[in-house]
Structure 1
Amino acid sequence: MARVLVSEKIADGGLDALRAAGHEVDLQLDLSPEDLLTAIKGAHALIIRSATTVTAEVLDAGTDLVVVGRAGIGLDNVDVAHATTRGVMVVNAPQSNILSAAEQTMALLLAQARNIPQAHNALVQGRWERSKWEGVELADKTLAVIGLGRIGKLVAQRAMAFGMRIIAHDPFVAPERARAMNIDLVSMDEVAAQADFLTLHVAKTPETLGLIGTDFLAKAKPSLRVINVSRGGIVDEAALAAAISEGRIAGAALDVFAKEPTTESPLFALPQVVVAPHLGASTREAQDKAGDTIAEQVALALAGEFVPFAVNVAAAEASETVRPYLGVAEQLGALFAGLGDGLPAEVEIEYSGELAGYDTRILTLSVLKGLFGAVSDEPVSYVNAPQLAGEKGVTVKDTSTSSSVDWINLVSISGGGHQIAGTLVGLKAEPRLVQIDGHTLDVPPSAHLLIVNNDDRPGVIGRVGTILGDAQLNIADMDVGRSAGQGGALMVIATTGPVPTTVAEELRAADGITSVSVIGR
């Protein structure tokens, strides 16, 4: 099995799950950058948290790497672009700390509103300063939530329980969706004009860097209090400190900083500011969930299976309609590879029926994974399959059509003079091959398939059965397909074992048989 290098402490449950799957867990904590370059050699997976930096140099040194897993949400410390170039999957645990981060946001919001840390420090130092630390109520105040994703929605729900009015800014959320949550979507200028409290729940990108800076703070209400439990750098700390010092806004509470770890900031000297050392995910529950989740994702990646939280795979979070077709799409790709003598210069993948209304990019990746996995000795993943297509000069096109005459959904692959299509049938959603080279049929995909083109006349099927029987090959499934307007027929036979070359040659030489393809030899 695989060697999994773990460079930072994660929950024991996740490590135990990897060991139970048969993997070697190599726990080497607190590695220096130089030591990591040595330790990564021969590792198939690397699990980190926030302290380990996975640079291009590290990725290049890890020539056997299949996956890098970050036990948390942020990926600032992973060169994702270079990992993708190298064909290394990068996964995280995006849902592990959402509840903890939302609760930390509320804790800081309340601490800022009621000056709890300041009053605590004064009292334990022997000063009873009851009048000095007068606060404000949350009820009837306006909270602006910047980023209405998973964490932002949890914060909004909790703030509503305090009687707050919620507005939000998120260009990726439809106004109708926000209204359904009793939230008004507004511009950043309107946030500045209306907000008494502001919480941030956005990723650190070139667009969000310095989002709360001099320009925004100049427009803000004097009552504004800024809470940041997302990423350092989204708030311009110097501009924020100046606005608070000059009385232009009321205060702030920060859990994250542009440079971490840090013990120096102009904000630390201001009594209107509450700070914490990046504790958003620091709960026992969040750490357990992160460890369990990342172990599960790494195990899936090592097994070559669909990984829901892969960040460098297009459309990684497949819809419930699309996901059941991942397996049959990969099977079709593998079978298509066996139809011809080599890979075609162009492969066209068509999605028909209900699938046409969904994002099917992950299905295309599944087809390519099956296609190149059948012809390559190297491991093929959702990440490196498109690269293999480019390296082998295969152009891939995918199309969608809402019409599908005989099936609710259909996945079809064509190219190089061959075509294959499949779907799922019945309550158990069982995979079926339903078309090969224009012939209609109905047979389950199999690891060992024999595809026989023959004259459509009596005696040919019996002749094929006799040859297979004499070779002690048992037939697991079989179907015969006709093509309208053609004089030929097609047999698809699933055998319980591989078909030897000698048997295939005997079939090709038999009367009435025009061609034989063996898949899964």
Structure 2
Amino acid sequence: MAPKVLVSDKLSETAVQIFRDRGIDVTFDPSIGKDKDKLLSVIGEYDGLAIRSATKVSAKVLEAATNLKVIGRAGIGVDNVEIPAASKKGVIVMNTPFGNSITTAEHAIAMMFAVARQIPEANESTHAGKWEKSRFMGVEVTNKTLGVIGAGNIGSIVIDRAHGLKMKVIAYDPFLSEERADQLGVRKVELDELLGKSDFITFHVPLTDKTRNILSRENIAKLKKGVRIVNCARGGLVDEEALAEALKGGRVAGAALDVFAEEPATESPLFNLPNVVVTPHLGAATTEAQENVALQVAEQMSDYLLSGAVTNALNMPSVTAEEAKVMTPWIKLAGHLGAFVGQMTDEPITAINILYNGAVAEMNTAALNAAAMAGVMRATNPDVNMVSAPVMAKDRGIDLATTTQSQTGVFEAYIKLTVVTEQRERSIAGTVFSDGKPRFIQIKGINIDAEVGEHMLYTTNEDRAGIIGALGQTMGENDVNIANFTLGRSTRGKDAIALLYLDEQPPETVLEKLKETGLFKAIRPLRFEVAE
């Protein structure tokens, strides 16, 4: 019997035809995506669901989806899908992470020109029957310095286009290596230098805790006078109120924004200011981009339903059905190891080295590599998955090296992951016990035995009395419950570490109290994606 797919959002007829040509029974009804009750009543009939952003795939919908095997999102964002609920039901969630890259990069360039030459204002004035030629004095982009914040997939396309416009390009990206910067033809700089030297600044980073408000009031004060700001990436990267004040005060000559902290943006301190260009999140809004992602999602879903091949899955590794039973806990472990070093590392990573020892060396190490890299890079980009992580790592010039070896030591198998930066190397090792649960067994060369939890706290200190007491007392006084407490040390009186598995993330006030004790060299809260 042919698999059945429901297309509940607007996909092109060409994309729908791909399903038909592959022998899939497809229902194309875009009205269903806006009708929750109708979706609930029919979803149980289908093996696949193809969507854009209108269809909301809630836990309730997934509960009713008794036959559903795959959800395909034409585009990158999957905020409208409850992925944990999908994972629990065994439903694969796919997206198309790179289909909008050129379109978004081109929109950034278009916005740069629009604000450089005041095109929207001049257009409005001319339509009104005025001829204010002397009012609209623009600036050339040739020989100007473009500061690119984020040199990944979209940022690298913008850099290429900027070279064609004869601009000087500098870039800030914590993951950008010197080698990759050379390949892109940009000078890699720190954020403060970029802020102070750029004539134009464009953002191409995701919104994370580290990038939120990256153009803060404090950083706006560091900008070169007369700079023009372009943001076609994510709302929340820019302090809109502070930017409005800088525009009024003359430090910033113009701004062009396609994204806002709150969307739909019906009001903003930036609205109606002179030489501010705004568009309603049009970065991916071209015929070509919408067609590309629609065709991609149709091909990916068809491949999975007909052959089991998994591409661009957000919640499952690209492994065969035969491998899945054995590999799943090891894939989780690889992701946890990557997440640990990713959250611990603030400087650009130049290389990731992975050692597979014992039985794990005989497994599908390509999938394990992808899981580890996704863990590393998810610290700065939560949208990374096992498919996109290797591509993004390559774009940033991060070298991957793997080694396999026969069993050595007391464990039947283990994985050791090391990240290399220009300043240091940081390593962690782990294994999977007979209960199928991943464990950390070594950090910084210090042997431990630590269960992995969603919320953890890592500390380093000199081996001395009082550490356990300080940690336990501070957590207890602040009602932070410790589920598991692991200690390790190199030798007596030397380096020591502690890894606490907590019931919830410790508040900043608790971390400050630990710092005030003067006992710790480093205190770092960590978070891991642990299935319930």
Per the alignment, in what secondary structure is the counterpart of residue 202 of structure 2?
strand
Counterpart mapping for 1:450-489 below 5 A: none
Residue 209 of structure 1 contacts residue 233 of structure 1 at CA under 8 Å; is this kept in 2?
Answer: yes
Per the alignment, in what secondary structure is the counterpart of residue 100 of structure 1?
helix
Task: Name 1:23's counterpart in structure 2.
Answer: 24
Per the alignment, in what secondary structure is the counterpart of residue 142 of structure 2?
coil
Task: Name 1:251's counterpart in structure 2.
Answer: 254
Task: Name 2:177's counterpart in structure 1.
Answer: 174
What is the aligned counterpart of 1:120 among 97, 114, 123?
123
Q: TM-score, normalised by structure 2?
A: 0.60
Deviation at 1:257, TM superposition (A): 2.3
Per the alignment, in what secondary structure is the counterpart of residue 178 of structure 1?
helix
CA distance in 2, matches of 1:38, 1:257: 36
CA distance in 2, matches of 1:4, 1:176: 45
Does residue 1:109 correspond to 2:112, yes or no?
Answer: yes
What is the aligned counterpart of 1:46 among 21, 46, 49?
49
Counterpart mapping for 1:92-491 below 5 A: 92-303=95-306, 305-314=308-317, 349-351=359-361, 360=368, 401=404
CA distance in 1, matches of 2:64, 2:213: 35
Residue 352 of structure 1 contacts residue 402 of structure 1 at CA under 8 Å; is this kept in 2?
Answer: no
Residue 142 of structure 1 contacts residue 166 of structure 1 at CA under 8 Å; is this kept in 2?
Answer: yes
CA shift digits 1:258-285 (9 cap, x unpaired): 3333333222211211112222222221
**Equivalent pairs: percent with the same residue?**
42
Tell me: CA distance 1:239–1:6, structure 2 relative to 1, closer, same or farther (3 Å): farther
CA shift digits 1:114-148 (9 cap, x unpaired): 11111011001111111111111112211111111
CA distance in 2, matches of 1:292, 1:102: 20
Per the alignment, in what secondary structure is the counterpart of residue 37 of structure 1?
helix
CA distance in 1, matches of 2:36, 2:296: 26
Unaligned runs of at least 5 residues, structure 2? 328-357, 373-385, 388-401, 408-432, 435-532
CA shift digits 1:403-454 (9 cap, x unpaired): 89xxxxxxxxxx99xxxxxxxxxxxxxxxxxxxxxxxxxxxxxxxxxxxxxx
CA distance in 1, matches of 2:326, 2:253: 66
Unaligned runs of at least 5 residues, structure 1? 317-325, 337-347, 365-381, 384-398, 405-414, 417-521
Moved more, 10-19 or 260-269: 260-269
The one-letter code sitting in structure 1 at the alignment partner of 2:6 is L
Tell me: CA distance 1:27–1:213, structure 2 relative to 1, closer, same or farther (3 Å): farther
CA distance in 2, matches of 1:271, 1:28: 44
Q: Which has the larger radius of gyration?
A: 1
Task: Name 1:12's counterpart in structure 2.
Answer: 13
Deviation at 1:238, TM superposition (A): 2.7
Does residue 1:60 correspond to 2:55, yes or no?
Answer: no
Residue 352 of structure 1 contacts residue 400 of structure 1 at CA under 8 Å; is this kept in 2?
Answer: no
Per the alignment, in what secondary structure is the counterpart of residue 40 of structure 1?
helix
Tell me: CA distance 1:297–1:187, structure 2 relative to 1, closer, same or farther (3 Å): same
CA shift digits 1:50-93 (9 cap, x unpaired): 23333333333323222221111222333333323332211111
Deviation at 1:331, TM superposition (A): 5.7
Moved more, 11-20 or 303-312: 303-312
The one-letter code sitting in structure 1 at the alignment partner of 2:259 is V
Deviation at 1:28, TM superposition (A): 2.9
Does residue 1:78 correspond to 2:88, yes or no?
Answer: no
CA distance in 1, matches of 2:91, 2:101: 26
Deviation at 1:34, TM superposition (A): 4.2
Aligned residues: 350
Per the alignment, in what secondary structure is the counterpart of residue 171 of structure 2?
strand
Deviation at 1:42, TM superposition (A): 2.9
Task: Name 1:428's counterpart in structure 2.
Answer: none
Tell me: CA distance 1:221–1:57, structure 2 relative to 1, closer, same or farther (3 Å): farther
The list of structure 1 runs, each at least 4 consecutive aligned residues, that deviate by more than 4 angstroms after superposition, is 330-336, 361-364
Deviation at 1:221, TM superposition (A): 1.8
Residue 89 of structure 1 contacts residue 301 of structure 1 at CA under 8 Å; is this kept in 2?
Answer: no
The one-letter code sitting in structure 2 at the alignment partner of 1:62 is A
The one-letter code sitting in structure 1 at the alignment partner of 2:17 is D
